[in-house]
Amino acid sequence: MKAKAEWIEIARLALDKAYVPYSHFPVGACLVTEDGATYQGINIENASFGLTNCAERTAFFKAVSEGNRKFQHLVVAGHTPAPISPCGACRQVMAEFCSPEMPVTLVGDEGVMKETTVGELLPYSFTDKDL
Ligand code: THU
């Protein structure tokens, strides 16, 4: 399998692990480090709804907490016909750790795919250069 196809599969397999008792809206992610390691992410909800962590941020926090800071690709998968668009909080976390050129692949259930980048998702972002 080609690398990207594997990463998409990893993101899709994560969907079954999503903890979504409130929204019933699973999201899966696969974050790929510069050296090719993959980190799966799922959304993790809470009875206190605002504490929910999205799949993308789960993947980033897992990877960064294990010492990774350089990434080459992110895949986000939904159980939706069309690809899911990452939320604003997750876009900000992407901007913290990824170059604007880093590719992001968004996939839905029906093979519809959107290829985008971190910079396209969050142009003119607030970063360490603003501090
Ligand atoms: N969600 C994600 O995990 N990632 C996104 O990009 C959009 C939204 C989650 C949060 C919540 O658990 C559910 O989807 C519905 O908002």
pLDDT of residue 1: 56
Report the chain's mean pLDDT, rounded to a whole number. 97
By most ligand atoms within 8 Å of CB, the mutation choice from 17, 42, 56, 87 for ligand 1 is 87
Residue 76 in 3-state DSSP?
Answer: strand
User: CA torsion angle for 82, 102, 4, 35 (degrees, to 10)?
Assistant: -150
Q: Rounded to whole angstroms, how far apart are CA atoms 82 and 128? A: 33
User: CA torsion angle for 115, 97, 65, 43 (degrees, to 10)?
Assistant: -40
Confidence of residue 121 (pLDDT cuts 50, 70, 90): very high
- Per-residue pLDDT averaged across 41-56, rounded? 98
- Which ligand 1 atom is at minimum distance from the Cα of 85? 6
Active site residue 96: no
**Chain length of the chain:** 131
Task: Assess whether the C-beta atom of 46 lies below 6 angstroms from ligand 1.
Answer: no
Give residue-wise pLDDT tens across range 72-89.
999 999 999 999 999 999
Q: Rounded to whole angstroms, how far apart are CA atoms 110 and 58? A: 24
Name, in order, each residue with C-beta under 8 angstroms of 6's C-beta and a sequence gap of 6 or more.
38
Q: Is the pTM of this model over 0.85?
A: yes
How far CA 34 is from CA of 17, 29, 48, 77, in Å, comes to 25, 16, 35, 21
